[in-house]
Homo-oligomer: A and B are copies of this chain.
Amino acid sequence: MTDETPNDLVLERVLNAPRAAIWRCWTEPALLEQWFCPKPWSVSDARIDLRPGGEFFTVMNGPGGERFENIGVFLDIVPGEKLVFTDAFVPGWRPNGKPFMAASVILSDTDDGRTDYVARAMHWNAETKAEHEAMGFHQGWGAAADQLEALAKTL
């Protein structure tokens, strides 16, 4: 078998929370800010314009005063089921920066009322994938998913 998606990094989990709650955590700025970055980092100033080409903006704040702005756009939205976004464009469909990835989040119900959660980071080449992996993709997205699950359970 050949891997048709060799430049992807994938996190798959079953989250113990309802799908609708996980969707809210991804799409409501006040909720996203609570889980999107592994602690002690945090997110502020999230802006979510949930339509194709709409803005997805966050600021990641580090414990030592670090501040990173992330801007991108949404590509595809299927409410409650699927979200795709990328940093390759800013609103107005203007190319921006050095394209790093497109990411998709796919949610589906499990038979026992939990949520199958597949978060996929899709890169344009093997070098960027390796860079993302070295930055700690699995640990970082895993820790964020733990925080997401904990928050979604409370909704």
Residues on A lying within 8 angstroms of B by beta carbon are 5, 7, 52-53, 75-76, 84, 86, 88-89, 93-99, 101-102, 104, 122-125
Contact = CB atoms under 8 A, between A and B. Distances in A.
Contacts of A5: 94
A102 B153 CA distance: 41
Contacts of A96: 124
A8 to B, nearest CB: 9
18 contacts: A7-B95, A52-B75, A52-B76, A53-B75, A75-B89, A75-B93, A76-B93, A84-B93, A86-B93, A88-B88, A93-B104, A94-B122, A95-B99, A95-B102, A95-B122, A98-B125, A99-B99, A99-B124
Given A7-B95, A53-B76, A102 B124 contact: no
B99 A88 contact: yes
A102 B125 contact: no
- Main SS at interface, chain A: loop
Given A52-B53, A53-B75, A53-B76, A95 B101 contact: yes
A93 B102 CA distance: 8
A9 B123 CA distance: 26
A7 B96 CA distance: 10
A105 B123 CA distance: 27
A77 to B, nearest CB: 10
